[in-house]
Each structure stands twice: as C-alpha cells, then as structure tokens.
Amino acid sequence: MLEVIALDELDARGAVLGGADRIELVSDMGKWGITPSVETVRAVRAAVDVPVRVMLREADGFAAGDPQVLRERARALLRAGAEEFVLGFLGPDGAVDLAALEAVLEVLDGRPWTFHKAFDFAADRAEALAAIEGLPGLDAVLSSGGRQGVEEGTRTLLAECAARAGTGPRLIAGGVLRERHVAPLRDGGIDAFHVGTRVRPDGSWDRPVDASAVRHWRDLLADAS
C-alpha cells in the first residue's frame, strides 16, 4: 500500500494519477501536518476516488489541546465528507493521551483511522502500542521506527513487525523514507509505505506532487514484492 501526503486537490490528483492507494490530507507541513480546512476536504473528496485520511491535529506538537475543540473539528470534517482520519495525542509524560483520543473517537463512531507519528515520540513504544490496540476504528500506526527517521529506525520497524506476526494495527513505514529502505522493509514483512517530499520536485512542500515520482515509488514497491 502506498500512501501519499497531499495538501490540496492538485496534490491528490497527482498522487492518484501516479498510482497512490491512499491520500493523507493535511495542511501546514511546517508543523508536520495539521487539520485541513473543510473546503479542502470537500474538494479532495470530490476530485479522487481513493481513500482519503484526514489529519485531525490542531497545533504543532502532540498535545491534544481542548478535546471539545477537537470534537467540533471532527464533526465539521465529517460533514465535509471525511470518512477516514489520522490522529494521535501524547501527554506531557510521553504516554498516550487516552482520554483525548476516546473523546474524539466517540465522534468518529468507529470510522477507520491511523495513529500518526506521535507514536515515535512516545516515552515507551511498547506501552503506547498496548494503550491504543483495540481502540475503535484503529487499523494502522505510522512510524519511522524512532524520532530520527527510517534510516535509524529500520531495525526497530522490522523487530516490531516480526513481533506482531500479522496481528494488531497495520504498520505503515514513513518518515524520511528513502528508496533504499523499501527492499529490506518489504523482506521483513512491512507492506505499507508513506511518502511526502520524496514525490515532490526538489523535495519541496511548495511544489505539487509529481505523478511520475509517485509512479516511481509504485514501481519500487512492485519490484520489492
């Protein structure tokens, strides 16, 4: 599975043209991706026919902020056509903020979602996974295996994949992901990948997704399977 970060309708169209299986829709990657506008959600949902996971994150960092604001934003996104989501909150101690998650998940009412890279900043990865497993709708965890990116986190990703033995939420590899990482990760059983700047000219968030670059990644995954 190839998931591509999109900031708008143009990005989403380019990603799908190149063969992306799913879109992660965000705004402001200077803050690692925050909640997009309802207008953007409507436009992207109308433009593409692949699943679109919408970020639900109101500010930089991984603190939840006001749960009521998050619930209101979730309702607005649902009204705009969002059907899948990306979220994840940590407390000041680095533990998963289950109270905030559960408050939002009540509004999402079982819809599928990914726990995003907040996972890589948890104080204890095993405890974080144990805390979120079984939450309604959770079907994926996005991770680079640590805070520094896939280059340093490959061993961790492979160990966690092996330990899960196909159980629990799907592990999506992403975060400074490079072509050279694909083969060893595929060999180790990881079958979902997440890219952003790697499919943009000059690796710039100011440039739109390039369909040919997405196709390159699509081919890489096929060759490594």
pLDDT 10s digits, 108-164: 999 999 999 999 999 999 999 999 999 999 999 999 999 999 999 999 999 999 998
pLDDT digits (tens, 9 = 90+) for 205-224: 999 999 999 999 999 999 88
- Kindly tell me if the per-residue pLDDT of 61 is higher than 90: yes
Q: In percent, how much of the chain has pLDDT > 70?
A: 100
Arithmetic mean of pLDDT, 2-15: 98
Domain range for 152: 2-224
pLDDT of residue 165: 80
- Kindly tell me if the per-residue pLDDT of 80 is higher than 80: yes
**CATH code of residue 208:** 3.20.20.380
Arithmetic mean of pLDDT, 99-103: 97
The rounded mean pLDDT for the chain is: 96
Number of domains in the chain: 1
pLDDT of residue 2: 98
Report the 3 state secondary structure along the chain: CEEEEECCHHHHHHHHHHCCCEEEECECHHHCCECCCHHHHHHHHHHCCCCEEEECCCCCCCCCCCHHHHHHHHHHHHHCCCCEEEECCECCCCCECHHHHHHHHHHHCCCCEEECHHHHHCCCHHHHHHHHCCCCCEEEEEECCCCCCHHHHHHHHHHHHHHHCCCCCEEEEECCCCHHHHHHHHHCCCCCEEECHHHCHHHCCCCCCCHHHHHHHHHHHHHHC
